[in-house]
Amino acid sequence: QVQLVESGGGSVQGGGSLRLACVVSGYNISDYCVGWFRQAPGKEREGVVSVYGDGKPVHGDSVKGRFTISKDNVKNTLYLQMNSLKPEDTAMYYCAADPSPYFCGDAALMMRAMYWGQGTQVTVSS
């Protein structure tokens, strides 16, 4: 059974940083397309970043240069380092995974991935 459990969300002032973590069980993240998407209240889901294997990450336009995805294949954990946070980054953040590399072709595709976590809330104040 595949499970993804996020942590690390919280409240931060604009310009600050947070690091989210996603512990994965049931498969090896090195073999899957993995990534993050987010959803703010009243808004559509938005792809944040995705990566397949050792490939180059694909970022959504709004987070380029500020957010970085990384993986610890030994711990089977996915991370999202978020720097220079803005109030518009406020959202529920979800990690996601899919065995198909197709879903890593564009960050927006992570919303259609097979497996999601329960989400972790990030709130950025101005």
25-36, pLDDT tens digit by residue? 999 999 899 999
At 33 the pLDDT is 96
Q: Which residues contact 119 (CB under 8 A, 6 or more apart)?
A: 6, 92, 93, 94
Evaluate whether 51 touches 79 at the Cβ level (below 8 Å). no
What element of type H or E holds 56? none
- Residue 3, both tokens: 């499970």
Q: Which pLDDT value is given to residue 23?
A: 98
116 in helix, strand or coil?
strand
Which helix (H) or strand (E) covers residue 65, if one does? none
- Per-residue pLDDT of 45-101, as tens digits, reads 999 999 998 899 999 999 999 999 999 999 999 999 999 999 999 999 999 999 999
What is the number of alpha carbons within 13 Å of residue 16 lying toward its C-beta?
A: 15
Query: What is the band of 9 on the pLDDT scale with cuts at 50, 70, 90?
Result: very high
Predicted confidence at residue 69, as pLDDT, reads 97
For 101-120, the pLDDT digits (tens) are 999 999 999 999 999 999 99
